[in-house]
Structure formats: C-alpha cells, structure tokens
C-alpha cells in the first residue's frame, strides 16, 4: 500500500457549466458588458458574455479557498 494522496476530491468543486448553444455564423448576440460579439446566436435567452468577459466573470465568482 502506498501513501499517495487522494486527489479525486478537491477543496473547491466547481459544477460543470451547462451546455449552451453556439452560433454557426452571424448574427451573434452582443456581450451585455462590453457589446462585443459573443459565441451565442441572437436568439439565445439569458446573459450573453463574450469569451473575455465570461472568463473574467468566472474568475470573480470562483472559489478563492
């Protein structure tokens, strides 16, 4: 038996992001923070963020343990 730590349980578990539809082409929805094009179609309901704002929002809401 070896004394290796069990890394399957992390201190801060983050839930998997729900699958969101992506647009195959224009028209793209605008980011609600910076108004740049997002990866979402205009018909997408909810808060649409561009990849940069989405990453920054994830950093703000991440567990800081």
pTM above the 0.75 mark? no
Higher pLDDT, 24 or 7: 24
Q: For residue range 11-48, what is the model confidence (pLDDT) as tens digits?
A: 566 656 556 666 666 788 999 999 999 989 998 888 89
> What's the pLDDT score for residue 34?
95
Q: What is the pLDDT of residue 32?
A: 94
Distance, first Cα to last Cα, the chain: 31
Contact assessment for residue 48 and residue 38, using Cβ atoms and an 8 Å cutoff: yes
Task: Tell me which residue has tokens 């699958």.
Answer: 19
Q: pLDDT band at 55, cuts 50/70/90?
A: very high
Residue 58 φ then ψ, to 5° = -65, -40
């Amino acid at each position: 038996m070896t004394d290796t730590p069990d890394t399957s349980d992390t201190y801060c578990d983050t839930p998997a992001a729900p699958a969101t539809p992506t647009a195959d082409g224009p028209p793209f929805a605008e980011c609600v923070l910076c108004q740049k094009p997002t990866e979402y179609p205009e018909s997408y309901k909810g808060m649409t963020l561009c990849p940069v704002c989405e990453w920054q929002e994830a950093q703000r809401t991440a567990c800081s343990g």
